[in-house]
Amino acid sequence: MNKKYDRVPELSLNAWTDGDASDREEFRQALFDGFKYYGFIILIDHKISPDLLARAYEMSAAFFAQDEDVKMEFFRKDGQRGYTPFGREHAKNSKHGDLKEFWHVGRPFEDGSPLGDIYPTNLWPEKPDGFKDTFLKIYAELEEAGMVMLEALAPSLDAPEDYFRDMATDGNSILRLLHYPPVPDGADPNAIRAAAHEDINLITILVAANGAGLELLDRDGKWLPVETDPDNLIVDAGDMLARITNDVIPATTHRVINPEGPNVSRYSMPYFMHPHSAAILSCLESCKGDGAKYADITADAFLKQRLQEIGLAG
């Protein structure tokens, strides 16, 4: 596939939210082309404060530094909320567990909300202090950044501007706090921090990680490192968006390789943006071409299928 860029494009969110018609059109086209030709874009000038991002990483590191028995109090076999221990998740079709542990924050809701019949409640550790408030705030701000990008993407697909926002409102979106510890002695030589995979969801918004290692597989079959300043956001397209667009926007294979330099921890914080569970993943008319490649399926059914494939089903 011929690329229009020689690197992952860097976009200013301000161009869409505060720009004139020309700025918005340039952003819209660059977002679509970035997803189409790379599957990734880098977002600058977003609304999330550097102080909040720094505090979130401090909280994440403090939580994972606790003893394993403390963290395991928050382990649930289905992996939807709370703690998932080292080595449990693996890439689809891989027999080797990834060299990582993580924590999931899901959609918050009030007692008595009908969402309580759809989604599990969040789990919250007592320490570090401020953990709950910090990650509820960053969850909300990453969600709104995602909504804005999906609104900007819709016109490129001849869809109403609110098409994806409606689909993702009250969605089963997940904020994942990731810790890749130093690679332990005796680790399976075939295991890496995150084996090559595609994300399940619509888009993933990744707060630029504390540590290198993220690589994408470009459309020419070459692995490219994805690096940017720590206050920027890295955004990639997932399987659900690929289904809806009939692979006009393909899901992008990526991985996190083991450290080539000092064997130290790496921290990362992806926000996986999902539709609401009842949403139908159906090919957009503008993308059908010679016919839809994928049968319609609910977002909930597709998610459960994929969670089983990566070892996180209950």
SS3 150: helix
pLDDT at 205: 96
Q: How confident is the model at residue 218 (pLDDT cuts 50, 70, 90)?
A: confident
Beta bridge partners of 296: none
Region of 193 on the Ramachandran plot (φ > 0 left; ψ -120 to 50 alpha; else beta): alpha
* Choice among 3-7, 101-105, 139-143, 281-285 with the minimum mean pLDDT: 3-7
Higher pLDDT, 283 or 3: 283
* Whole-number Å distance between alpha carbons of 228 and 79: 29
Mean pLDDT of 192-214: 87
Mean pLDDT of the chain: 91
Q: How confident is the model at residue 4 (pLDDT cuts 50, 70, 90)?
A: low
Backbone phi and psi for residue 273, each to the nearest 5 degrees, phi listed first = -90, 115
pLDDT at 89: 77
Answer whether residue 3 shows pLDDT above 60: no
Answer whether residue 103 shows pLDDT above 60: yes
pLDDT at 313: 61
How much of the chain exceeds pLDDT 90, in percent? Answer: 69
pLDDT at 47: 87
Give tens-digit pLDDT for 156-191: 999 998 999 999 999 999 999 999 999 988 888 888
Give tens-digit pLDDT for 45-101: 998 998 999 999 999 999 999 999 999 999 988 778 999 998 787 777 777 888 899
Considering only CA atoms, which of 60, 311, 304, 61 is closest in space to residue 200?
Answer: 304
pLDDT at 1: 46
Beta bridge partners of 10: 42
Answer whether residue 28 shows pLDDT above 50: yes
Rounded to 10 deg, the angle between the 50-64 and 131-153 helix axes is 130
Note if the pTM is more than 0.85. yes
Higher pLDDT, 269 or 2: 269
pLDDT at 5: 62
pLDDT at 148: 95
Query: 10-309, what's its fold?
Result: Jelly Rolls (2.60.120)
Task: Give me 214's structure tokens.
Answer: 């993220």
Answer whether residue 125 shows pLDDT above 50: yes
Higher pLDDT, 50 or 284: 284
Give tens-digit pLDDT for 294-307: 999 999 999 999 88
* Whole-number Å distance between alpha carbons of 285 and 159: 9
Answer whether residue 44 shows pLDDT above 50: yes
Q: How confident is the model at residue 314 (pLDDT cuts 50, 70, 90)?
A: low
What are the b/e assignments for 122-150, b being 16+ CB within 10 Å? bbebeeeeebbebbebbbebbbebbbbbb
